[in-house]
Amino acid sequence: MPAKRSAMRKIKEVLRLKFEVRLSHERIAAATGLSKGAVSKYVQRAISKNLSWPLPEDLDDAVLERLLFPQVLQREHFVHADYAYVHQELKRKGVTLQLLWEEYHGAHGERAYQYSQFCWHYQRFRDSLARSMRQTHRAGEKLFIDYSGDTVPVINAVTGEILAAQIFIASMGASKYTYAEATWTQTLPDWIASHIRMLEYLGVSRRS
């Protein structure tokens, strides 16, 4: 039970002093060590549930807690995912929020949030992270070049052999205008040849 909510034993004592002994809230607060506001809150919750003293014999602490704090218990029922872990895992190739939710749901079962709530809580976590500095590129100033990391399967129509083609990508910093092509390797000859074809495609003339 959270520290901000008193033990049920003390709450039951509040109800006894109020309904049986008929003490004022101020005197109940002094006797139990609670604030006067807390005493008033517990009494009002009990009155709203038509409780008095003595409590029904079949009303144990768990049932009493559900009666007095239904909304609090509902919130405490669910277990949050480790959103920092989720954020890091999403950087891995092929990992999606759906996959991470299924992993989280499998670990916590009925105590796990449904997918939409899981996504909402993760987005709140993500939005709370420090923002990166935005970069501004002037037209024609920068060209970003690399291999994508993903490959494309190429099937030999005669033999059925499957080969993996490497994807070379170049993107202009300002316009995001992109050039892409497939090569068999990432070796230096293919790397240089891709640069030449990319510059020709972009209309960059060679110097003699």
23 lies in the same domain as 64: yes
On whether residue 184 sits in a domain, the answer given is yes
The H-or-E segment that residue 153 falls in is strand 143-155
One domain, residues 171 and 114: no
- For residue 137, being part of any structural domain is answered with no
Q: Would you say residue 208 has pLDDT above 90?
A: no
Instruction: Decide which of 49, 75, 101 is a domain's last residue.
Output: 75
Domain-ending residue, one of 57, 75, 93: 75
- Write down the pLDDT at residue 3: 38
Question: Are both 71 and 12 inside the same structural domain?
Answer: yes
Query: pLDDT tens digits, residue range 7-33?
Result: 778 889 999 999 999 999 999 989 888
Cα–Cα distance measured from residue 156 to residue 154, given in angstroms and rounded to the nearest whole number: 7
- Out of 75, 93, 109, pick the residue that ends a domain: 75
Give the model confidence (pLDDT) of 93-145 as tens digits: 888 999 999 998 888 877 788 888 899 889 888 888 866 666 777 887 889 99
Whether 64 is covered by a domain: the verdict is yes
150-189 tens-digit pLDDT: 899 999 888 889 999 999 999 988 888 899 999 999 999 9
What is the dihedral sign for C-alpha 37, 38, 40, 44?
Answer: positive
- Are 94 and 120 found together in one domain? yes
Question: Is residue 136 in a domain?
Answer: no
CATH number, position 65: 1.10.10
Confidence grade of residue 206 (pLDDT, cut at 50, 70, 90): low
| Residues 95 and 107 both lie in one domain | yes
Residue with token string 């499957």? 162
Q: Give residue 64's domain range.
A: 8-75
Contacts of 181 (CB under 8 A, 6+ apart): 167, 168, 194, 197, 198
Q: Are residues 52 and 86 in the same domain?
A: no
The answer on 173 and 120 residing in a single domain is: no
| Total number of domains constituting the chain | 3
Would you state the pLDDT for residue 76?
A: 52
Predicted confidence at residue 98, as pLDDT, reads 92
Does some domain include residue 65?
yes
Residues 167 and 180 reside in one and the same domain: yes
pLDDT grade for 73, boundaries at 50, 70 and 90: very low
